[in-house]
Amino acid sequence: MPDFLNDKKRYYTPVEYVFDKVGGLYKMPILWRLKDKSLRFSELKRSINRASDRMLSKTLKELVADGFVSKEIIPEVPVKTIYTITEKGKRSIAIISTLREYGFELMKEDGIEH
Amino acid sequence: MPDFLNDKKRYYTPVEYVFDKVGGLYKMPILWRLKDKSLRFSELKRSINRASDRMLSKTLKELVADGFVSKEIIPEVPVKTIYTITEKGKRSIAIISTLREYGFELMKEDGIEH
DNA sequence: CGGGATCCGTTGTGATACTG
DNA sequence: CAGTATCACAACGGATCCCG
Dist CA B53 CA A23 (whole Å)? 25
Percent of chain A with pLDDT over 70: 98
Dist CA B65 CA B59 (whole Å)? 10
Annotated domain spans of chain B:
22-109
Q: What is the pLDDT of residue A82?
A: 98
Q: What is the pLDDT of residue A8?
A: 85
Q: What is the pLDDT of residue B105?
A: 97
Q: What is the pLDDT of residue B89?
A: 98
Handedness of CA B6, B12, B18, B20 (dihedral sign): negative
Q: What is the pLDDT of residue B75?
A: 92
H helix count then E strand count, chain A? 5, 5
Residue partners of B48: CB distance under 8 A and separation at least 6: B26, B29, B30, B33, B56
Among all protein residues, pick the one whose CA is nearest to the C1' atom of D3: A57
Q: CA torsion angle for A26, A29, A34, A38 (degrees, to 10)?
A: -50
Phi and psi at A40, nearest 5°, equal: -85, 165
Q: What is the pLDDT of residue A1?
A: 57
H helix count then E strand count, chain B? 5, 5
User: Does the pLDDT at position A107 exceed 60?
Assistant: yes
Cβ of A17 within 8 Å of Cβ of B100? The answer is no
A19 contacts on B by Cβ (under 8 Å): 23
A3 touches strand C (CB under 7 A): no
Q: What is the pLDDT of residue B7?
A: 86
Cβ of A103 within 8 Å of Cβ of B18? The answer is yes
Pick the CATH number of B22-109 from 3.30.930.10, 3.90.1150.60, 1.10.10.10, 3.50.50.60: 1.10.10.10
B16 at interface of A, judged by CB pairs closer than 8 A? yes
Q: What is the pLDDT of residue B1?
A: 56
**How many Å separate Cα A22 from the centre of its chain?**
5
CA atoms within a 13 Å half-sphere pointing along the CA-CB vector of B106:
27
Cβ of A17 within 8 Å of Cβ of B106? The answer is yes
Average of per-residue pLDDT across A19-35:
98
CA atoms within a 13 Å half-sphere pointing along the CA-CB vector of B11:
21
The nucleotide closest to A76 (CA, C1' atoms): D1
pLDDT digits (tens, 9 = 90+) for A46-93: 999 999 999 999 999 999 999 999 999 999 889 999 999 999 999 999
Dist CA A33 CA A43 (whole Å)? 10
Q: What is the pLDDT of residue A109?
A: 96
Strands (E) across chain B are located at 4-6, 9-11, 39-40, 69-74, 80-85
Residue ranges of chain B with per-residue pLDDT less than 70: 1
Q: What is the pLDDT of residue B67?
A: 98
Dist CA B20 CA B16 (whole Å)? 6
